[in-house]
């Protein structure tokens, strides 16, 4: 599929699925290879956190032992702090690698005119762009402080009305798209970081409603799907919990075990679904970037003209 192509709203939306249909196996294979280890580590650590939450919190409440939480924290404070620090560090590394995956993948895809690259080439792309990624993160954080305040005010205003609530995904989509396009432009190594932010805004403003509407729609779809994944096992888990209590088996251990299994299943399912849906949303933003870049620079058009000229 050609990335550098002028697209309207419907094509921005549909070409994401077209890309997944033709390149999905290659795309997700490399995503799981690059990010799989970190996802597993995060899920394992979240398992222990969930186990603590259910066994201690619910155990204290159901077992009528109000000091259980304080006693547990006092006895395991050192371990809790260590696990929290490790979780934050691993989470940050995983977030950086995951966030950078789509820009680097599509960069190689555009250069090779298709998925004709291996995992090692993708890893090398990470290594060669490591400095650019960290510069982007630092500058993005500094710029993100005032932008986050503005977005928070905007979300508060929109949340006042029902129609405004429906526009919140559009606002989040604009913020996310702006940052993704900045990184994608910056790793092209043709502009400085602040020029890349400015150019990303120029691209965003050129087809604002088409681009932001597409991203907002994907965010909305992602939210609905994740909610469904979360609610179904939650409903079954709560039904099982109430059944256990009604049958007279209200021992704290049994209730705690039921809640642990329920919350773990909900978490693992939601976590995996969220990771996959998140990378699909980001893929849509990548396709928007290349489409808007073609509108502004006519990269593919110039390439076709050059090929015609070289063939004469």
Question: How does pLDDT run across 263-291, given as a tens digit for each residue?
Answer: 667 777 777 888 888 899 999 999 999 99
Q: Is the pLDDT of residue 245 over 70?
A: no
307 vs 218: CA distance, rounded Å: 36
CB 158 within 8 Å of CB 167: yes
Alpha-carbon Rg for the chain, nearest whole angstrom, is 23
pTM of the model: 0.81
Q: What is the pLDDT of residue 104?
A: 94
Please say whether the beta carbons of 165 and 182 come within 8 A: no
Classify the phi-psi angles of 114: left when phi > 0, otherwise alpha if psi is within -120 to 50, otherwise beta: left
State mean pLDDT over 236-262.
58
Higher pLDDT, 227 or 67: 227
Beta strands in 9-145 (DSSP E): none
How many other CB atoms sit within 10 Å of the CB of residue 200? 23
Per domain, the residue ranges of the chain are: 9-300
Q: Which residue has the higher pLDDT, 256 or 115?
A: 115
Residue 1 or residue 187, greater confidence = 187
């Amino acid at each position: 599929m050609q990335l550098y192509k002028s697209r309207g709203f419907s094509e921005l939306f549909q070409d994401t699925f077209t890309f997944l249909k033709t390149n999905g196996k290659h795309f997700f294979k490399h995503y799981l290879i690059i990010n799989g280890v970190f996802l597993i580590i995060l899920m394992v650590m979240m398992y222990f956190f969930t186990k603590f939450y259910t066994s201690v919190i619910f155990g204290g409440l159901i077992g009528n032992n109000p000091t259980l939480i304080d006693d547990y924290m006092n006895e395991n404070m050192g371990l809790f702090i260590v696990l929290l620090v490790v979780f934050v560090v691993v989470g940050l590394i995983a977030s950086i690698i995951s966030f950078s995956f789509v820009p680097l993948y599509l960069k190689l895809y555009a250069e090779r005119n298709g998925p004709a690259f291996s995992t090692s080439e993708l890893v090398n792309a990470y290594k060669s762009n490591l400095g650019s990624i960290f510069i982007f993160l630092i500058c993005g954080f500094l710029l993100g402080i005032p932008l986050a305040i503005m977005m928070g005010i905007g979300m508060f205003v929109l949340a006042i009305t029902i129609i405004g609530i429906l526009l919140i995904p559009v606002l989040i989509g604009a913020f996310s798209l702006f940052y993704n396009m900045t990184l994608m432009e910056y790793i092209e190594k043709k502009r400085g970081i602040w020029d890349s932010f400015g150019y990303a805004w120029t691209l965003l403003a050129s087809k604002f409603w088409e681009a932001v509407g597409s991203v907002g729609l994907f965010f909305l779809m992602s939210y609905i799907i994740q909610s469904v994944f979360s609610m179904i096992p939650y409903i079954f888990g709560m039904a099982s919990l109430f059944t256990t209590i009604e049958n007279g088996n209200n021992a704290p251990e049994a209730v705690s075990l039921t809640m642990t299994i329920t919350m773990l299943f909900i978490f693992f399912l939601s976590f995996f679904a969220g990771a996959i849906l998140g990378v699909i949303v980001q893929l849509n933003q990548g396709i928007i970037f290349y489409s808007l870049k073609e509108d502004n620079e006519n990269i593919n058009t110039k390439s076709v003209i050059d090929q015609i000229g070289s063939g004469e």
